[in-house]
Structure 1
């Protein structure tokens, strides 16, 4: 491999190759902080360089793992000592912004936050938003088909991508940098790579869809007396605020109580005795009109006893305080450590039944199991579940996973709503995909990466 690394250094330059401690100091998993064990990290600065790198690796039958912002939590960036990492961190430019066509052309290594800020500068917005915005990259968002807090209005990352450029395992460059919303000329090839977690090709550039900027932002935290009231509230705001509703986040009592306890930095804006809480947010163009409509709907919800209390943000500081309770994952991890984290989706109507049954099964098998914390993007059927255990061994993790994922089968749920499969969930893929679907995935992998060099061991094993 040393000879190959020298050849790759001739392509990307000395600064484009990291070895030894420069590799080990990088963490490949946001939760575990596990160090990178790859032989080297290769950092191309262009699609052309990456194409040459992959051609060399293909000829040498060298496996490659792609790195973006390293905010993943399903071991998708894990690399063994006999593998190389290709990092897109130096390919981080915003290449073009078309305010008329509402598009932005970017390299894969640019961060989500930079894209959001660039869109704001021309009075537009990039709709994807998630807590890791400052470090996650567009390439990673595409590779995992990221979701976030505004899926209910704008959809997943898939809906934000118009065109892609991808380097295949043999170095072939497939450039489909479409800038049009409507293009039915044959297969939509980009869809194969969105959500493929770097197993079919390496995304290098993308054309992103922009939306009009919405200057009016209304945010409220509400207390909800029951799950039935929670789903009825979602129906109410979805109808009455249909043109502006951008987020509907649900917090179970166990999450809200933990995040506003004395050991955290967050203040309990509402009493902690409600079984559920929700963060409701709208984006609009008319501040006065949006504020009146928002307040009117909250009044309706109070009168209908769908909510028992509410806090309406009157400033950006208050809005940020509400959202921090939901997005401060670092504090949550600190409070629950050691813990296992899960990202699942299932029909909204079955969520309460699933969570209740899950808690019962966990207590039955592990009477001394610590906290079960639940929160998520209720509007799009996505729940995040965190479970603390005294024994955080791999064996215990596997047992807990059997319960968490196995319980989804009865509801036709998904083992991964937005974080991907990686290595962590690949053994449970059969719960969410039929044998025929998995067989087709394997055929696609074989067709595009016949030597199995791209992100080996991820998704399909």
Structure 2
């Protein structure tokens, strides 16, 4: 009997026959994430239904030196949940449900396999808002959101996933269960161990439960699209809004190339503003509409805003957002190479121009578009590989962009983690001493290296 077969027999004895799948019984969605990178059928798929079963599974695999790849909703964009054919995949999809909503503490306690949309709806039903929001809300699981420290459009007001987590339950590689569950905002009992696992992409432990912060419902929001003369005005307008009307719910900047593309893809391709302005910002505010109008008037007088459209209805607001949501059409209308980076806010405009210049010098006539949240330092850049020599020089483009990120002191990963796809570029944002400290942390929590091997650090 092979070592793998012996390990699988132990896993079946501990978890049950229906919780250990192999071969054709494994759904292909477990082969890769949304990137479709290097799909592989894992040696087995584990489907535990309790924390104890996760602990038993990891204890067995650790003793056998069997590698384990934790998986959530498989909506990641960095290859963090992609298995190899020699790995055992561990899915959290059966650890699902809302345990409790504590209205006094304004918290929700959930299992890791619960989808983001389920948590959002449960919060709404209880009169609260769970402010994390992503396009994959119906598929992504909160355990994966936490493991990748997911972002989204509302980070500018509510923070990253890290800022919404009060407590965790985590299973270590050797099967020990860390109860780090907590409902209190103030809790300074030594090292805040939960922070080690938020953003660790399943390389240090497997998250099984979480206690999350809820927010008050924001009330009626106002949506506004503004045309701007330059990047500096985008920053000035943001700070003016924060001083006068409160921090926006969302603040989405679109360069002219992106705006024109988004308008052209509308069902009725009519632009709400002239398409000749350098930049456009779409933002939502939950403050009083009158105060927002006063702030807009001051911005127009100061020259920060050149023209604007204030949505008069939810229908009009949705129409404005459809321009920004053109990203959903990227895979259908181009062959996109997407970058999701962050930089000091004051340098984002310079970075966009630098990348545009270097890309044009290296590949004249290439097509790239720029957009981002910017209020939380986040810029997106997409290059259409159809506009490049074939086969598209993917690695060269990545090195060009990430080198520029490093030159400006930015991060090669704003939202989606490092996984497999950004591992070779991590050095542009994290120096050798810090990477060594990361490896020491990995060696401490997972000395046999069974958890998600090859991700983040290699």
2:284 aligns with 281
Change (3 A) 1:22 1:318: farther
2:87 aligns with 83
2:185 aligns with 181
TM-aligned CA deviation for residue 393 of structure 1: 7.6
Query: Are the aligned partners of 1:23 and 1:36 in contact in 2 as well (CA < 8 Å)?
Result: no
TM-score (norm 2): 0.94
Return the alpha-carbon distance in structure 2 between the equivalents of residues 332 and 145 of structure 1. 24
Return the alpha-carbon distance in structure 2 between the equivalents of residues 216 and 199 of structure 1. 41
Query: Are the aligned partners of 1:143 and 1:194 in contact in 2 as well (CA < 8 Å)?
Result: yes
Q: Which moved more, 1:386-395 or 1:358-367?
A: 386-395
**What stretches of structure 2 of length at least 5 have no aligned partner?**
none
Change (3 A) 1:133 1:262: closer
Matches within 5 A, 1:147-162: 147-162=151-166
Q: 1:246 aligns with which of 245, 249, 253?
A: 249
1:116 aligns with 120
Q: 2:430 aligns with which of 405, 423, 433?
A: 433
Return the alpha-carbon distance in structure 1 between the equivalents of residues 38 and 222 of structure 2. 39
**What stretches of structure 1 of length at least 5 have no aligned partner?**
285-289
Query: Are the aligned partners of 1:131 and 1:327 in contact in 2 as well (CA < 8 Å)?
Result: no
Return the alpha-carbon distance in structure 2 between the equivalents of residues 255 and 28 of structure 1. 29
Return the alpha-carbon distance in structure 1 between the equivalents of residues 260 and 126 of structure 2. 40
1:314 aligns with 312
TM-score (norm 1): 0.94
Aligned length: 453
Alignment partner of 1:200: what SS? Answer: coil
Change (3 A) 1:42 1:328: farther
Query: Are the aligned partners of 1:264 and 1:331 in contact in 2 as well (CA < 8 Å)?
Result: no
1:372 aligns with 368
Alignment partner of 1:378: what SS? Answer: coil
Change (3 A) 1:178 1:266: farther
Q: 1:413 aligns with which of 401, 410, 413?
A: 410
Alignment partner of 1:245: what SS? Answer: coil
Query: Are the aligned partners of 1:113 and 1:134 in contact in 2 as well (CA < 8 Å)?
Result: yes
Q: Which moved more, 1:341-350 or 1:444-453?
A: 341-350
Query: Are the aligned partners of 1:63 and 1:84 in contact in 2 as well (CA < 8 Å)?
Result: yes
Return the alpha-carbon distance in structure 1 between the equivalents of residues 389 and 203 of structure 2. 29
Q: Per-residue CA shift, 1:149-183, capped at 9, x if unaligned?
A: 11111111111000000011111111110111110
Query: Are the aligned partners of 1:38 and 1:79 in contact in 2 as well (CA < 8 Å)?
Result: yes
TM-aligned CA deviation for residue 33 of structure 1: 6.8
2:234 aligns with 230
1:287 aligns with none
Query: Are the aligned partners of 1:251 and 1:374 in contact in 2 as well (CA < 8 Å)?
Result: yes
Change (3 A) 1:156 1:422: same
2:62 aligns with 58
Return the alpha-carbon distance in structure 2 between the equivalents of residues 238 and 358 of structure 1. 29
Return the alpha-carbon distance in structure 1 between the equivalents of residues 420 and 39 of structure 2. 16
Query: Are the aligned partners of 1:245 and 1:283 in contact in 2 as well (CA < 8 Å)?
Result: yes
Query: Are the aligned partners of 2:170 and 2:208 in contact in 1 as well (CA < 8 Å)?
Result: yes
Change (3 A) 1:259 1:395: closer
Return the alpha-carbon distance in structure 2 between the equivalents of residues 28 and 226 of structure 1. 40
Q: RMSD value over aligned CA atoms?
A: 1.9
Return the alpha-carbon distance in structure 1 between the equivalents of residues 205 and 389 of structure 2. 34
